[in-house]
Amino acid sequence: MGGCTLSYIVNLSSVALSLDLISKELDDIRNRREIVLKGSRDVISLSSKSVVAMHTENKPLARALLKDARRKLVRLRKEARQDLTKYLVSPETEYVEAEVLFSIITKRRIPGFRSLSVNEASYILGLLDAIGEIKRLILDSIRVGKTDEASDLFSIAEGLYIMISPFASFDKIAGGTRRKLDVARVLVENSRAVVTEDRRRRDLIIAMQNLSIGLSSNQS
């Protein structure tokens, strides 16, 4: 009986040690996960506030908010390591969207994913989300009579959509790509219609003004 008890203890000792190590590892993952989730919400909030600041033409505030978001993302990546990177897709996507929009309104080159230090899926999804914000810029430009600017913005939105369209085949890897592409397609087509109608309206106004000048000249 004593031998059986000793054998039992020996057989389970390695299990007990393994479970103790696993418990500590899982506890670490759980703690890091909470940090990443909270930090992700902060990054999303900062990115959203930055976009609002851009639409209200407060570029200094927008830039400051983006810098803060980037600093938080750097810290989150250290916490996420390799096992929690999936939780960074949403905040990185929001951050990419804001950075793309800021580049457009400041007339700078749209940054690549390496310069933003985000993963490939986040970059693709962020670019697609930016198309919706570009449409807002288009409508704002038309509202204040900047037809040429609206046309240039449309070219950017259309260009992004065309360039990203082939990535629909990677939907299983970059989840949500196909759905966001469908949304982007509708946004681009709606923007095309708005820009085309605005240009026609402007051309009609110019034609009427020229006709009015011509008639006035003939009468004099």
- pLDDT tens column, 68-124: 999 999 999 999 998 999 999 999 999 999 999 999 999 999 999 999 999 999 999
Identity of the residue numbered 2: G
Q: How far apart are alpha carbons 15 and 211 in whole angstroms?
A: 92
- The structure's pTM equals 0.86
Tokens found for residue 2: 């004593």
Average pLDDT over residues 179-205: 90
User: In this structure, are residues 126 and 97 in contact, taking their beta carbons and an 8 Å threshold?
Assistant: yes
What the chain holds in terms of domains, given with CATH numbers, is: 26-219 (1.20.58.2140)
List b or e across 73-109, with b for residues whose CB sees 16 or more CB atoms inside 10 angstroms: beebbebbeeebbebbbbbbbbbbbbbbbbebbeeee
Average pLDDT over residues 15-43: 94
